[in-house]
């Protein structure tokens, strides 16, 4: 009975292990075959970017500086000290103030506190500066994320382009192989010459070479995408190549856009872009630092207070009985309060030099802010023009590709019937391949340009559908 129970338990454990192993294999296979959309790629790139982590560490420093500015403005500095002093031989008697040969032990304690009542609004300006610096740090982080997203979009579209181009050329290779078989049969029947067969073989070789070159470019584009995403280079990565084309076709049916105009887009960009906020924050901080430097010419006022006490004894002295510790601790205690006014008179013109430097820094920050606004206005206008031009090019390329497809279909029938030569058929096939490749490139360019305009309208890249 016991042996049967043991065997039953062993069989159940083995079944459980096999089921767990099969489940783990299924989960691992599902993870390995996961298809990344464009949004997935951007999220992965942001979450693994070293630049984002570095900026987040800088934001942590800004938070610490903000906290320190608040504590410096509203809380006093408090310090305490304790000391013990022991002497041997001749020393001054604290009671009679005469020298005597003995050993003594002195113990002292003190607590002090101080706070600046007025220091030229430096504390208030520091609060504003640290608040702006913290907000700038968050915008710098968003700026880095936006750049990573745009680089991911471009790398992703390159992979999509070469993937679809490989598919298009692959279909051309199959068509060329079927044409070569047909030409050889027609050569056997005397309908085609040997030159036509050689020309068909050359056409097939050209398309196979193009397919191999495109596959190599696809591998290079995939490595670039992995690098942007911080994906392990040796690990496989599969992306959804159909979603981009479907999304672009959804917006490419009709020319023109009913969205915001150039002026409205510029206004939205000036309100939402991290570049504008960072430039404005630097200008505001430079203005606050200039004010702080000017206020250093006025007096500063501070308040200090403290308390101290001591204990002393002469150990080993005959007939001497020291007062108890707690009695001396209470009786020797003393307090003080101090109001200090510091008036700057002359410091080798260092304050004047500081004010002059801060003025130049403010002028520099103001000019940089104006230049940033100017650059954003030009970028928005250029992005809208590029989007509209890319859309028009895509619509024309789409129509031309449709015409070339119909021309290739008709030429294929004529070639099968022996009405056109291999050279003419190869020319039509090459025109179709070129039209399809240019349509694909125009579609992806329109996809990128459209996303950039939406970004300037206040929608971040990762939030766009």
Each residue of 200-215: pLDDT tens digit? 888 889 999 999 999 9
101 and 198 in a single domain? The answer is: no
Verify that 44 and 110 share a domain, yes or no.
no
- Same domain for 339 and 354? no
SS (H, E, C) 347-416: CCCHHHHHHHHHHHHHHHHHHHHHHHHHHHHHHHHHHHHHHHHHHHHHHHHHHHHHHHHHHHHHHHHHHH
Q: Which two tokens stand for residue 257?
A: 């856009």
pLDDT for 203: 87
Same domain, 148 and 52: yes
Domain boundary among 286, 321, 343: 343
Closest of 226, 231, 232, 89 to residue 158, by C-alpha? 226
The pLDDT score that the predictor gives to residue 316 is 66
Strand ranges in 289-364 using DSSP code E only, listed in sequence order: 300-313, 334-342
Q: Is 81 left (phi over 0), alpha (psi -120 to 50) or beta?
A: beta
305 in a structural domain:
no
92 and 171 share one domain: no
- 18 domain residue, yes or no: no
Same domain, 270 and 364: yes
| Claim to verify: residue 361 and residue 329 sit in the same structural domain | no
Same domain, 132 and 244: yes
- Global confidence as pTM: 0.80
Which pLDDT does position 3 carry in this prediction? 40
Helix (H) or strand (E) holding 94: none
Question: Is 108 in the same domain as 169?
Answer: no
Q: What tokens were used for 305?
A: 């207070």
- Locus of tokens 């304050």: 351
Mean pLDDT by 10 residues, the chain (465 residues): 40 40 36 76 94 95 93 91 82 68 83 90 90 94 95 94 91 88 84 83 90 94 94 90 63 54 91 94 95 90 93 74 85 91 88 93 96 95 93 91 91 83 84 91 91 92 84
**Contact by Cβ (8 Å): 139, 278:** yes
253's CB contacts (< 8 A; 6+ apart) are: none
Q: What is the pLDDT of residue 258?
A: 58
Which domain CATH number covers 70? Answer: 1.20.1600.10
From the CB of residue 146, how many other CB atoms can be counted at a distance below 10 Å? Answer: 18
Domain ranges, residue 384:
39-75+118-296+347-463
Q: Give the Cα separation of 333 and 326 in Å (integer).
A: 11
- Residues 145, 238: one domain? yes
Q: Note whether residue 21 is domain-resident.
A: no
Domains identified in the chain, total number: 2
> Is residue 258, in this structure, part of any structural domain at all?
yes
């Amino acid at each position: 009975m016991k042996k049967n129970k043991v065997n039953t338990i062993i069989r159940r454990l083995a079944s459980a292990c096999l089921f767990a192993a099969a489940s783990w294999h299924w989960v691992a296979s599902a993870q390995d075959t996961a298809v990344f959309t464009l949004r997935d790629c951007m999220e992965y790139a942001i979450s693994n970017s070293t630049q984002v982590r570095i900026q987040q560490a800088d934001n942590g420093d800004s938070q610490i500086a903000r906290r320190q500015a608040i504590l410096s403005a509203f809380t006093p500095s408090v310090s305490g000290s304790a000391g013990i002093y022991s002497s041997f031989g001749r020393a001054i008697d604290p009671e009679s103030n005469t020298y005597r040969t003995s050993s003594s032990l002195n113990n002292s304690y003190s607590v002090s506190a101080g706070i600046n009542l007025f220091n030229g609004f430096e504390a208030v300006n520091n609060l504003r500066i640290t608040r702006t610096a913290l907000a700038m740090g968050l915008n710098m982080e968003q700026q880095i994320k936006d750049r990573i997203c745009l680089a991911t979009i471009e790398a992703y579209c390159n992979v999509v382009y070469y993937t679809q181009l490989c598919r298009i050329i692959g279909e051309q290779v199959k068509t060329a192989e079927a044409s070569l078989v047909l030409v050889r049969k027609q050569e056997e029947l005397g309908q085609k010459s040997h030159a036509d067969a050689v020309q068909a073989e050359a056409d097939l070789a050209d398309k196979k070479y193009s397919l191999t070159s495109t596959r190599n470019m696809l591998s290079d584009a995939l490595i670039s995408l992995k690098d942007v995403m911080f994906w392990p280079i040796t690990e496989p990565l599969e992306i959804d190549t159909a979603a981009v084309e479907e999304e672009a076709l959804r917006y490419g049916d009709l020319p023109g856009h009913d969205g915001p105009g150039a002026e409205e887009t510029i206004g939205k960009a000036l309100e939402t872009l991290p570049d504008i906020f960072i430039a404005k924050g630097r200008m505001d901080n430079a203005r606050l630092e200039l004010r702080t430097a000017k206020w250093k010419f006025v007096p500063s006022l501070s308040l200090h207070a403290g308390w101290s006490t001591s204990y002393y004894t002469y150990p080993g002295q005959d007939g001497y009985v020291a007062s108890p510790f707690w009695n001396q601790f209470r009786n020797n205690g003393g307090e003080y309060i101090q109001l200090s006014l510091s008036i700057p008179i002359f410091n080798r013109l260092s304050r004047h030099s500081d004010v002059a430097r801060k003025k130049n820094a403010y002028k520099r920050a103001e000019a940089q802010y104006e230049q940033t606004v100017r650059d954003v206005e030009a970028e928005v206008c250029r992005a809208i023009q590029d989007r509209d031009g890319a859309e028009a090019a895509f619509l024309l390329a789409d129509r031309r590709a449709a015409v070339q497809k119909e021309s290739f279909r008709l030429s294929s029938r004529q070639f099968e019937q022996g009405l056109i030569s291999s050279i003419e058929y190869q020319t039509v096939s090459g025109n179709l391949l070129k039209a399809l490749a240019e349509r694909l490139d125009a579609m992806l360019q329109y996809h990128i340009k459209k996303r950039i305009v939406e970004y300037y309208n206040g929608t971040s890249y990762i939030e766009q559908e």
